[in-house]
A and B are shown apart, each in its own frame.
Chain A
Amino acid sequence: MRVVVTRSIARPGRTWQPVLLIALTVIGTAAISVWKPTALVYGVQRAGLYAAVAIPMALILGIVHIVNLAHGELMMVAAYLSYFAARLLGLDPFVSLVPVAVVMAIFGLLVYLLTVKHALKAPELNQLILTFGLAIALSQTVNLMFTSQSWKLSLGYVSASATVGDVSFGVFDFVYVAAAIALAAGLQLFLKRTRMGKAALAVGQNPRGAAIVGIDVGKTYAFVFALAVGLVGGVGSLFLAKQAIFPMVGGPYTMKSFCLVAMAGVGNIVGILYCSLALGLAESIIDGIRGYAGWSNMVFFVIIIATILVRSWRERKV
Chain B
Amino acid sequence: MTKAVRRFLPVVVIAAAVVFPFMAGPYPLAVAQSVLISMALAVSWDMLLRSGQISFGIAGFFGIGAYGAALTTLKLSASPIISILLAGACSAAVAFMLGFVILRLRKVYFAITTLALAEIFQVIIHNWGDFTGGPEGIVLPSLIFNGDARSLYWLALASVLLACALSALFQRSRLRFALTAVRNNEVSARSSGIAIFSYLMIAFVTTSFLQGIIGGIHVQIYGYASPDSVFDANYTLLPLAMALLGGTYSTPGPVLGAVLLGVASEYLKLKIPYGHLVVYGIIIVLVILLLPAGLYGQYRKRVKARAAHA
Contacts and interface: CB of A to CB of B under 8 A. Distances in A.
Q: Do chains A and B touch in the complex (CB under 8 A)?
A: yes
Interface of A: 1, 4, 67, 115, 118-119, 121-123, 125-126, 128-130, 132-138, 140-141, 143-144, 255, 258-259, 262-263, 266, 294-295, 297-298, 300-302, 304-305, 308-309, 312, 317-318
Contact of B113 (A129, A294, A308, A317): A308
Nearest to B101: A309
A130 B109 contact: no
A260 to B, nearest CB: 10
Contacts of B104: 312, 317-318
Contacts of A121: 292
Interface string B92-121: 000000000111111011011101110110
Interface string B213-243: 0000000000000000000010001001100
A226 B293 CA distance: 27
B112 A308 contact: yes
Interface string B185-209: 0010000000011000000000000
Contact of B105 (A115, A130, A302, A308): A308
A107 B116 CA distance: 31
A301 B244 CA distance: 27
B285 A304 contact: no
Contacts of B103: 318
Contacts of B241: 129, 132-133
Contacts of A138: 281
B110 to A, nearest CB: 9
19 contacts: A1-B187, A115-B289, A121-B292, A129-B241, A132-B284, A136-B278, A136-B280, A137-B278, A137-B282, A262-B108, A262-B112, A266-B108, A294-B127, A298-B123, A301-B119, A301-B120, A305-B116, A309-B113, A318-B197
Given A128-B240, A298-B119, 17 more contacts: A122-B288, A125-B244, A125-B248, A130-B285, A130-B289, A134-B281, A136-B281, A137-B282, A295-B127, A300-B119, A301-B119, A302-B120, A305-B102, A308-B112, A312-B105, A318-B104, A318-B197
Nearest to B190: A318
B281 A304 contact: no
A183 to B, nearest CB: 22
A135 B277 CA distance: 11
- CB-CB nearest 8 A-B residue pairs: A133-B284, A137-B281, A136-B281, A301-B116, A133-B285, A140-B277, A298-B123, A262-B112
Contacts of A126: 244, 288, 292
B277 A259 contact: no
B54 interface: yes
A298 B106 contact: no
A305 B110 CA distance: 9
Contacts of B274: 144
A52 to B, nearest CB: 20
Given A125-B244, A304-B112, A133 B281 contact: yes
A259 B196 contact: no
A209 B116 CA distance: 35
B207 to A, nearest CB: 16
Contacts of A300: 119
B275 interface: yes
Of B101, B115, B126, B197, the most chain A CB neighbours within 10 A belong to B115
Contacts of A119: 288-289, 292
A130 B275 CA distance: 19
A128 B56 CA distance: 12
Contacts of B292: 119, 121-123, 126
A301 B281 contact: no
A34 to B, nearest CB: 28
B19 interface: no
A118 B280 CA distance: 20
Contacts of B123: 294-295, 297-298, 301
A297 B122 CA distance: 10
Contact of A298 (B124, B237, B278): B124
B210 interface: no
Contacts of A140: 275, 277-278, 280-281
A144 B281 CA distance: 13
Contacts of B196: 318
B109 A312 contact: yes
B160 interface: no
Given A133-B282, A134-B281, A309 B124 contact: no
Contact of B117 (A123, A132, A301, A312): A301
A1 B109 CA distance: 18
B245 interface: yes
Contacts of A317: 104-106
A123 B123 CA distance: 32
B95 to A, nearest CB: 15
B283 to A, nearest CB: 8
A263 B274 CA distance: 39
Contact of A259 (B116, B240, B281): B116
A134 B289 CA distance: 12
Interface in B256-310: 274-275, 277-278, 280-285, 288-289, 292
B277 A129 contact: no
B109 A4 contact: yes
Contact of A129 (B49, B245, B282): B245
